[in-house]
Amino acid sequence: MVPKRLSQRYIFAFWYPLALSWLMMSIADPVVSAGITRLPHPELQLAAFGVAQPIAILMESPIIYMLGTGVALVRNRAMYQLVWRFMLHLSILMTVLSAVLFFSPAYHVMTRLLLGLTEEVSAAARPAMQLLLLWPAAIGLRRFLQGVLIRHGYTRHITLGTVCRLVTLSATMAAGVWFGGIPGAALGGLAMVLSVIVEAIVIAWWARPVVRTHIHAADRPEPGDADMTYAGLWRFYLPLAATDVMRVISRPLVVAGIARSAMAAPSLSAFPVAFGLGMFFSSPMRACHEVVIALLQDERAYRALRRFVVISGALLSLAMGLLVFTPLDRLYFTLLLGVPAEIKPLASLGSQFMVPYTFLLAWQNLYRGRLMKRRDTRFIQYGMVVNLVSMLLALTIGVSVGLASGVVVGAASVVLAHTVEVVVLNAANRPPGAFRDIQPKHAH
């Protein structure tokens, strides 16, 4: 039960298990990469996995917002059944599309004609993608039930589920490296899908008593429930699905811009280092999205949440600034990561431009969470459209002017795009009469 007066301590206790889960998930990629490098033909297999993983993430992207949807809508038996049916249909749809893409001649069209991959890389990536066939369905189940757990305050279960996921991932990679016989990219795909299936099973087991106690026992409808039909749920969700698809495709667009900028080759090597550091510091702020949806009740609660989110984002941005603007940057980039000397200055410079990213992400998730609470998801999509357009404009100008290195063009375009999106979301969050205690809008 959410208290009427939110304290910063209560918000922190609700938030930190989710933030810890996001931090732990950021470890998964290095674990897989470390395993692949210890198997035969590491260059080829790393390249193949580097193709398979982004495509798998693209195929799961329409399902990502099932987490926020579960937090926002699943309050009683009727809404649980409605959203459950929606999640199943969406998971089946994405699984079928993945099967067509990975098991038919469409795979050749995608990898050889559209992406321009060599035959060797294309062939090595295909088994990994085929193993990831069940990835969208497992993600859909996991995120839906995670939303139910978060809504009712069981945030520590999310952290424990992530621990199970990382243990399964690490054990699969270790076994594959120890026994051998599986190509690195395929092993990475197997580890990813097994780990998320295990996490989904664990979350489903823990969610059973919560659903029985808090969902099935709550038959009283709340304001707006009667207007949320299956068609209305599609209208609610489609802008969210489109938002995450645009988020996923924005990263290749930045890489394409860097490839056409000054100092392209070293910048392409430096940007993942700078962007990865920004993602690490900003990952706890991604948990604020669900925290806002779960705890936001009225104007007083919003002020408390805003204070927590903004202070947290500012502190994490400050921590990143201390790392990259002081001599600590040598400790991190050179001694810890082993970044080559010719790349280190660009990686450090790109990271300095990425410092505001965490603070901007804090505001973004605060505003997005409030819009989802009001069931006004269109403006979340509009904000992402503005983000993407701003990024493309910044990249185009940066490439055409040619005054800065590619890593600066890429990092600056990301920060600028998020700044514009935050401005748009802020405007969307201030319509007339916005604060009459958060009332969900009708689905029609």
DSSP 32-95: HHHHHTTSSSHHHHHHHHHHHHHHHHHHHGGGTTHHHHHHHH--SHHHHHHHHHHHHHHHHHHH
Are 197 and 134 in contact by the 8 Å Cβ rule? The answer is yes
Q: Is 231 within a domain?
A: no
Query: Do 207 and 280 fall within a single domain?
Result: no
Query: Do 262 and 308 fall within a single domain?
Result: yes
Given a cut of 60, whether residue 434 has pLDDT beyond it is no
Q: Is 236 within a domain?
A: no
Which of 222, 257, 291 is the C-terminal boundary of a domain?
Answer: 222
Query: Do 169 and 295 fall within a single domain?
Result: no
Backbone conformation region of residue 41, classed left if phi is above 0, alpha if psi is from -120 to 50, else beta = left
Instruction: Output helix, strand, coil percentages for the chain, rounded to the nearest 5.
Output: 80, 0, 20
Are 252 and 280 in contact by the 8 Å Cβ rule? The answer is no
Q: Is 232 within a domain?
A: no
Query: Do 115 and 217 fall within a single domain?
Result: yes
Q: Is 229 within a domain?
A: no
Residues with Cβ within 8 Å of 90's Cβ and at least 6 positions away in sequence, in order, are 62, 63, 66, 140, 237
Q: What is the pLDDT of residue 444?
A: 36
Residues with Cβ within 8 Å of 97's Cβ and at least 6 positions away in sequence, in order, are 59
Partner residues linked to 223 by β-bridges: none
The tens digit of pLDDT for each residue in 326-385 reads 999 888 888 877 777 888 888 899 999 999 999 999 999 999 999 998 888 999 999 999
Query: Do 58 and 112 fall within a single domain?
Result: yes
Query: Do 425 and 306 fall within a single domain?
Result: yes
- HSE-CB of 440 using CA atoms within 13 angstroms: 23
Q: Which residue has the higher pLDDT, 112 or 312?
A: 312
Residue 198 is encoded by which pair of tokens?
């295990």
pLDDT band, residue 440 (cuts 50/70/90): very low
Q: Which residue has the higher pLDDT, 435 or 414?
A: 414
Q: Is 59 within a domain?
A: yes
Place of tokens 């200055």: 345
- HSE-CB of 337 using CA atoms within 13 angstroms: 21
Taking the C-alpha atoms of residue 72 and residue 69, their distance in angstroms, rounded to an integer, is 5
Residue type, 49: F
Q: Is 228 within a domain?
A: no
Q: Is 306 within a domain?
A: yes
The tens digit of pLDDT for each residue in 97-124 reads 999 999 999 988 888 887 777 888 889 8
Taking the C-alpha atoms of residue 444 and residue 442, their distance in angstroms, rounded to an integer, is 6
Taking the C-alpha atoms of residue 37 and residue 20, their distance in angstroms, rounded to an integer, is 27
Segments in 260-353 forming alpha helices (H): 264-286, 288-295, 299-324, 328-330, 344-353
Backbone conformation region of residue 224, classed left if phi is above 0, alpha if psi is from -120 to 50, else beta = left
Q: What is the pLDDT of residue 433?
A: 47
Query: Do 170 and 317 fall within a single domain?
Result: no
Global pTM value: 0.86
Residue 238 is encoded by which pair of tokens?
């489609």
* Secondary structure of residue 354 in the 3-state scheme: coil
Which of 171, 192, 222 is the C-terminal boundary of a domain?
Answer: 222
Number of structural domains the chain divides into: 2
The tens digit of pLDDT for each residue in 148-189 reads 999 888 989 999 999 999 999 999 999 999 998 899 889 999
Taking the C-alpha atoms of residue 256 and residue 395, their distance in angstroms, rounded to an integer, is 9
Query: Do 326 and 196 fall within a single domain?
Result: no
Are 193 and 131 in contact by the 8 Å Cβ rule? The answer is yes
Query: Do 168 and 279 fall within a single domain?
Result: no
The mean-pLDDT minimum among 91-95, 119-123, 260-264, 401-405 falls in 401-405
Q: Is 444 within a domain?
A: yes
Angle between helices 288-295 and 264-286 (to 10 degrees): 30
Query: Do 318 and 200 fall within a single domain?
Result: no
Q: What is the pLDDT of residue 442?
A: 41
Query: Do 340 and 196 fall within a single domain?
Result: no
Domain that holds residue 404: 243-444
Query: Do 188 and 253 fall within a single domain?
Result: no
